[in-house]
Amino acid sequence: MSWFQALVLGLVEGVTEYLPVSSTGHLLLAQRALGIERSEAADAYAICIQAGAILAVLGLYRARVAQMVRGVAGRDPAGRRLAVQLVVAFLPAAVLGLLFDDVIDAWLFGLWPVVFAWTVGGAAILLLRGRTGGKALESFDTRTAFLIGCAQCLALWPGTSRSLATILGAVLLGVSLPAAVEFSFLLGLLTLGAATSYSALKDGSTMLAEYGAVPLLVGFVASAVSAAVSVKWLVGWLQAHGLEVFAFWRIGLAAVVAALLTAGILQSG
């Protein structure tokens, strides 16, 4: 992998990780467009550079993370409650991901499944536009957290978007959009952190042997910087606009990729 390919993949990862458009789907598309064939090393690389995006959100939400750390230490009841709720929300996808990892890897990591998920997700945004609640993050209960975690399971299908599934799931449960976005980002720290660690332990040596350390470093830095910019932009955008723009992006991109696949210009696998 060249430094240019690593830079492009890092930028794609960072920009799309927390947007409701599916970073996995965009990375699969970017890899095929760059001529990178699917392999254990390529899959591991796409997951491991998520560490940059995780670092960016840790920095942007450091006050909330510090509150949870104080809560775990017994010095902040609200922080402890939020930490427990994030763990509860994390568990459904973690369990299903481990149980069906091989099935997902064999059947869903291709551009046609991603096109389908992009289309369905875009339609869901349009169908649910205008829906919002008033529940703040501080008023979350364990049931709400668990159901949002169940919604996150939908994102095991590449192209769905973890952010989209959790944000829409929270909104359907009566959560305000700002609270849904913040909880989704915080939940991503656990979910993405676990996925990155698992992939690094499983295929990290293969990835380093094939690509070396420099592409990994380039992708990590590009992911961190672009994710910080992307998250700040998204929070500002949602204060004045809804999610509809992402629906049009998903459906439009799905149509373009489907046409390229049909014409044989892109390969799904």
Q: Rounded to a whole number, what is the distance in angstroms from the first to the last CA of the chain?
A: 19
Q: Token pair 């240019």 is at which residue?
A: 4
Q: Count how many domains the chain has.
A: 1
Centre a 10 Å sphere on the Cβ of residue 214 and count the other Cβ atoms it contains.
Answer: 12
Structure tokens at 257: 């990729």
Residue 141 lies in a domain: yes
Residue 267 lies in a domain: no
d(CA 153, CA 198): 17
Centre a 10 Å sphere on the Cβ of residue 4 and count the other Cβ atoms it contains.
Answer: 11
Q: What is the pLDDT of residue 208?
A: 94
**Among residues 224, 263, 260, which one has the least CA distance to residue 29?**
260
Residue 268 lies in a domain: no
Q: What is the pLDDT of residue 146?
A: 97
Residue 63 lies in a domain: yes
d(CA 174, CA 131): 9
Residue 269 lies in a domain: no
**Among residues 142, 139, 145, which one has the least CA distance to residue 78?**
139
pLDDT in tens, 80-131: 999 999 999 999 999 999 899 888 988 888 899 999 999 999 999 999 887 7
d(CA 221, CA 42): 18
Q: How many CA atoms lie within 13 A of 239 on its CB side?
A: 7
Low-confidence ranges of the chain (pLDDT < 50): none
Structure tokens at 22: 């599916």
Which residue range forms the structural domain that includes residue 128? 3-262
How many residues would you count in the chain?
269
Q: What is the pLDDT of residue 140?
A: 87
Q: Residue 258, exposed/middle/buried by CB under 10 A (0-12, 13-18, 19+)?
A: middle
Q: Is 0.75 topped by the overall pTM? A: yes
Residue 142 lies in a domain: yes
